[in-house]
Amino acid sequence: MDTIRFILFVSLAMVGMLLWQNWQRDYGPAPAPTATPESAKPAAEIAVAAGEVPAVPDHAARAIESAPDGPNTAESVIAVTDVFRVEFDARGAGVRRVELPRFPVSLDTPDVPFVLLDGAGPDQYVVQGGLLSRQAAPTHEASFRSPQREYVMDPARQSLVVPFVWQESGIEVTKRFTFERGSYLVSVSYEVRNTSAEAWRGQAYSQIKRAIPAGGGPKLIYTYTGPVLSSPENRYEKIKFDDLGDQAEERSTAQGWAAMLQHYFLAAVIPADPGATYTYRLRRATAGTSAIALLDAISPATEVAPGGTAIFETRLYMGPKLQHLLEQIAEGLDLTVDYGALWFIAKPLYWCLEWLHGLFGNWGWAIVFVTVLLKLAFFKLAAAGYRSMANMRRVQPRIVALRDRYKDDRARLNQAMMQIYKEEKINPFGGCLPILIQIPVFIALYWVLLESVELRQAPWVLWIHDLSTPDPYYVLPLVMGVTMFVQQKLNPAAMDPVQEKVLQIMPFAFTIFFAFFPSGLVLYWVVNNVLSIAQQWVITRHIVQSGATPPAAH
């Protein structure tokens, strides 16, 4: 039994180490990109690397050569809605900067909005787009003009349209961004009017461009940052920055989408027509000394007859990972709230937390009561484990006597111990259940608290103003350590001195470790420990009081 208990506590420590490793995964120093001589590249690839314009698939037309991105002196156009402040670039009519006023950077600066996209500085992260054709067509390097410099959503209206116009060689293109009140989903359309004497054939593309984060040392929260491709065959395909090589990853599929993820937020390109077959390309390039990731979504080709008009339309999501919104936009988009391998436990936990939050209006109390519900659900199973541990505690003096008697005969000792367990109807493995039950739920709730943007900056009571960050005064980790120490006192003492010392150190080690965990997770662990202590104390007291004086050891 001592060995089993020791293994369980070591297993719990290993779980903690795995979580720690998860925090740091993908944040190590990024490998330097391998430089390829320009002369060794095909001409089309050189054009792509120079201007980051996606190459046109073979069935359409040639790749458009474009000048490299240089200092941006183009005018900016501002759009302000109830959920956005967006800055557009007149060069290419691309999204240069996105601020989310409903999500402040921190509680200390409520008037400073979180910046999702930003084209300034080395850590550029923008959304670009344009048209591809053998004839005249505006790429994301073309100069557009807009009737106004600033657009503000009228309080009496439900939408806001921001137009940009480009014209050359008889081809007029109007690019429109349509914002809806309260929505982070933006419609992007290209209206192509052909006033030339020839038919025009081309494609629309959207491109998410992001600087690949350099290694900045270990961080205490790991969540996936990087590109994701979705298709009917693989609804959530993560392709890490480090896995990007010289060859582009490419998928041609209908019912798909492409996104760039980070903690709590994402930017995604979703076709307006889910049945249309888009080509998604992901590649690595360089901009100066920085490595960048380029994620393209290229539409099917369309032909516009002389005097005719055609519209290319796609959708752009730029905002928080709100599950209920994402699952309504595209199939599998809600998977960007990544709960990991234990999603089948995490999803019901989140639904339960959300329901309780609707009752109490506080995510902290939702965590408390979801813990109570979990304890009730596993009450009988946990009680069986605690009874086993209480019975082990009751017969422990007999086990000690046996160890003294048969200390040089391991086989006789095991045989005598099994005889006692049989007489007392004790399952020596029964005490494992409480810990084994907690581990998967603990990990699943860890991911729920870490990934759910609804809990970002969510307060509980008193000094706990943000359940997604560590307790600033370390009160909850200290209480957790105390409850863990009390639980150990209710368990049978370890026979082996080495095991006993290790078990004594565990509460202190976990107190330090949990000091860096989100306070919401520590709150769950504290409430769980308190309820477990109460249940175990009642069961142990009942068994000890009702048990007769144990007979002498055999």
- Residue in 398, 387, 489 with CA at minimum distance from that of residue 429: 387
Q: Kindly write down the DSSP assignment for every residue of 293-316, as one continuous string.
A: EEEEEEPPPEEE-TT-EEEEEEEE
Kindly give the confidence (pLDDT) of every residue in the chain, 554 residues in length, as a single tens digit, with 9 standing for 90 and above: 444 444 444 445 545 544 444 444 433 333 333 333 333 333 233 233 334 455 544 433 333 333 344 444 568 999 999 999 999 999 999 999 999 999 999 888 889 999 999 988 778 999 999 999 999 999 999 999 999 999 999 999 999 999 999 999 999 999 999 999 999 999 999 999 999 999 999 999 999 999 988 764 445 557 889 999 999 999 999 998 888 876 788 999 999 999 999 999 999 999 999 999 999 999 988 877 778 999 999 999 999 999 999 999 999 999 999 998 999 999 999 999 998 888 899 999 999 999 999 999 999 999 999 989 988 887 777 676 666 666 666 776 777 677 767 766 677 777 777 777 776 666 666 556 666 777 788 788 888 888 889 888 899 988 999 888 889 899 999 999 999 888 777 765 555 566 667 677 888 888 888 888 888 889 988 998 898 888 777 776 766 556 543 343 33
Paired sense of beta strands 76-80 and 150-152, if any: parallel
> What is the Cα 545 distance to its own chain's centre?
50
Domain ranges (residues) in the chain:
2-20+345-546, 52-335
- Encoded amino acid at 380, one letter: K
> What is the Cα 293 distance to its own chain's centre?
19
Q: Are 105 and 112 in contact (CB under 8 A)?
A: yes
Bridge partners for 249 per DSSP: 282
Helix (H, G, I), strand (E, B) or coil at 140: coil
CATH number of 52-335: 2.70.98.90
Helix (H, G, I), strand (E, B) or coil at 102: strand
- Residue in 345, 240, 251 with CA at minimum distance from that of residue 296: 251
In the chain, the N- to C-terminal Cα span, in Å, equals 19
Q: Are 235 and 335 in contact (CB under 8 A)?
A: yes
Q: Which residues contact 59 (CB under 8 A, 6 or more apart)?
A: 301
Cα angle: 270, vertex 272, 275; to 5 degrees:
95
DSSP letter at 81 equals -
Bridge partners for 403 per DSSP: none
**d(C-alpha 467, C-alpha 508), whole Å:** 22
Q: Which two tokens stand for residue 304?
A: 């516009």
**d(C-alpha 367, C-alpha 531), whole Å:** 14
The pTM of this model reads 0.79
